[in-house]
Amino acid sequence: MKVGIVGIGITHFGVHEEPFYNVAYTAARKALEDAEMERHEIDNVVLGGYDVSVGRTISNMYTAPAAGGYLKDEIRVSDDAAYALALAYMRIKSGIFDVAMVLGYGHCSETPIELVELLSLDPFFHRDLGISYQMSYAMQSYAYKMKYGVEDETAAEVVVRARKRASKYEYAHVREEVSVDDVLSSEMVIFPLRKLELPPWSDGCVALILAEETIARRINPEPIWVEGLGWNTENYYMGSRDLAELSSTRKAGEMAYRMAGCDAKSVEAVEIMDLTPYHHLMALEALGFAADGKGGELIESDFPTNSSGGALCTNAHGTTGLFLTANLALQIRDGCDRGISHAVSGYAAQNSIVTILGV
């Protein structure tokens, strides 16, 4: 039995004046309209997003009814909502449920996320050092850059291409095009990352409707199938890891490829959660698209990565990964046969999840 995506609803990503209760409702409504379904046809909701980042303990109290969960089975993953899609897949695959509303929410404009993330560090060994979330990604970037001698220009080129793609993607947050010079002359914020090499903090919601194979075909003659899923976790203690590689991404990718019965060669589209340009390259390598340290070579080619502009242009903490998966689903609808999306969470990309979609 397969599980397919039959409805896609994406809100505008940027700064929302409306509370995310309303933004979540908008995304879920759009997904239902896209699938030409009504709320009562859903038998469960699977949410993904954080609490402290949005200023509400048990934030799923807010988003469950907004996602259509009134008197329905409900569960929430407190991580990137890409995990919610994996859980929804398992809930349907097990035969327990038929149709799931997967909803991811991020709402970064109401609080300093850097401070919230700092509080995710243990209060003994790490928090007092004031290592910000982005600093951990910068340390990783630097380790990778030094190990393989990646040029500043290569990183800048990743940003230039991301912005160019985002400028054409209606849901992206930051859509102004920039040049390599713009990137390199922007201020150094967290060495080695310059201002234009850091992602924005965005607000927005994504809703995807997943259905069991037979039902999926009733709803849509051409569902987008979930072919592979994989997720993994690295050591929390950054000092115990090789920061120059994304090992949780590598393991997650291996699991997803194994489940889908394919490898990187058969993948036509890639959506990567690149919180820095260096992570863009590291993830491409971890997912098997380039040899270690050779990710930069792909940037020069026409390799189809991040048609959404990626996390560098849209980053709603809690649903950035699902935002990328939703864009991948749109690409498959437009004729692409198979694609892969990727998400990370935690300091220095501790956790990774990979989703393979296909026709």
Partner 1 sequence: MRRAAVIGVGQTKFRTRRDDKTHPELTREAVSRALEHAGITMDDVDAFVFGTMDPFDGINCPDRWSSTAAGFGKPFMKISTGGTTGLTTGIAAYQHVASGLFDVVVAVCTQRVGENVDAQPVLNTAVDPIYERHSGVGAISVAAIQATVHMQKYGTTEEQMAWVSVKDHENALKNPYAHIKKKIGVEDVLSSPVVSSPLKLYECCPRSDGSVAVIFASEEKAEQIRDDPAWILAESSISDSYFVGDRPDLAVWDSLSIAGRRLYRLAGIDDPKKDIDVAELYSPFTIQEILELEALGFAEKGEGAKLAEEGVTFVDGDMPTNPSGGVLCTNPIGATGLVRLGEASLQVMGEASNQVDGAEVALAHAWGGTLQFHALMLVSSHKKLRR
Partner 2 sequence: MVLRIEAKWEIPYVHSAGEHATKFFEALKEKKILGVKCPKCQRVLVPPRAFCERCYVDTDEWVEVKDEGVIETVTINYARFTGLPDPPYAVGIIKLDGADTGMLAYLGGVDLTDWKKAHEKLKVGTRVKAVWKDRPEGRITDILYFKPVEE
Annotate each residue in 329-348 with x if it binds partner 1 (CB under 8 A) or - if it does not, as one string.
-----------------xx-
Three-point CA angle 317, 318, 321, nearest 5°: 95
Q: Provide the binding-site residues for partner 2, judged by CB under 8 A.
A: 16-19, 21-22, 25, 29, 38-39, 52, 55, 65-66, 68, 70, 109-112, 115-116, 119, 123-124, 127
**Residue 314 CB contacts under 8 Å (≥ 6 apart), including other chains:** 13, 166, 171, 172, 173, 174, 199, 200, 202, 204, 308, 320, 323
Pick one of 15, 178, 255, 262: the residue that binds partner 1 (CB under 8 A).
255
Per CB under 8 A, 112 contacts partner 1? no
Instruction: Identify which range of 28-36, 78-86, 166-174, 210-218 contacts partner 1 by CB under 8 A.
Output: 78-86
Among residues 104, 125, 99, 313, the alpha carbon closest in space to that of 237 is found at: 125
The length of the chain, given as a count of residues: 359
Instruction: Identify which range of 116-124, 143-151, 269-277, 299-307 contacts partner 1 by CB under 8 A.
Output: 116-124
CA atoms of 210 and 224, how far apart (whole Å): 9
Least distance CB 232 / partner 2 (angstroms): 30
Judged by beta carbon, residue 22 or residue 186, the one nearer partner 2 is 22
Judged by beta carbon, residue 76 or residue 175, the one nearer partner 1 is 76
CA atoms of 131 and 128, how far apart (whole Å): 8
Pick one of 13, 20, 25, 83: the residue that binds partner 1 (CB under 8 A).
83
Taking the CA atoms of residue 2, residue 337, residue 162 and residue 25 in that order, the dihedral angle to the nearest 10 degrees is -40
Judged by beta carbon distances under 5 to 8 A according to partner kind, the member of partner 2, partner 1, none in contact with residue 57 is partner 1
Angle, helix 82-93 to helix 320-333, in steps of 10 degrees: 60
Per CB under 8 A, 75 contacts partner 1? yes
Per CB under 8 A, 303 contacts partner 1? no
C-beta of residue 303 within 8 angstroms of C-beta of residue 289 = yes
Q: Which residue(s) pair with 59 in the sheet? A: none
CA atoms of 150 and 313, how far apart (whole Å): 22
CA atoms of 177 and 35, how far apart (whole Å): 33
| Binding residues among 88-107 for partner 1 as defined by CB under 8 A | 89-91, 93-96
Judged by beta carbon distances under 5 to 8 A according to partner kind, the member of partner 2, partner 1, none in contact with residue 291 is none
**Residue 159 CB contacts under 8 Å (≥ 6 apart), including other chains:** 178, 183, 196, 197, 277, 312
Judged by beta carbon distances under 5 to 8 A according to partner kind, the member of partner 2, partner 1, none in contact with residue 18 is partner 2
Judged by beta carbon, residue 60 or residue 307, the one nearer partner 1 is 60
Residues that bind partner 1 (CB under 8 A): 19, 21, 45, 50-52, 55-58, 60-62, 64-65, 69-79, 83, 86-87, 89-91, 93-96, 116-117, 119-124, 229-237, 251, 255, 259, 346-347, 350-351
